[in-house]
């Protein structure tokens, strides 16, 4: 996860650099050790992706 598309698959919100409507809401974007339970991190990533999506929706004003 990062801002440089050459080095990272997605941005800080989990949105793919190459596809605007593709979000990674799983632990697949994290490097984890075999001794680590990543469930909590996965939940945090889903919440972050939802927050980023909602921020984009707020920019569109509905009348």
Q: Residues 7-60: pLDDT tens digits?
A: 988 888 788 889 878 888 777 777 665 667 777 878 888 888 888 777 766 555
DSSP code of residue 61? -
Split at pLDDT 50, 70, 90, the class of 4 is very high
How many Å from the N-terminal Cα to the C-terminal Cα in the chain? 35
Q: How far apart are CA 16 and CA 1, in angstroms?
A: 9
pLDDT of the residue at 5:
93
Q: How far apart are CA 13 and CA 53, in angstroms?
A: 8
Has this prediction a pTM greater than 0.85? no
């Amino acid at each position: 996860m990062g801002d440089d598309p050459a080095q990272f698959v997605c941005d800080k919100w989990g949105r793919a650099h190459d596809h605007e409507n593709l979000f990674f809401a799983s632990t697949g974007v994290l490097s984890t050790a075999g001794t680590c339970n990543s469930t909590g991190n996965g939940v945090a990533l889903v919440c972050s992706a939802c927050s980023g999506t909602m921020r984009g929706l707020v920019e569109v004003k509905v009348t």
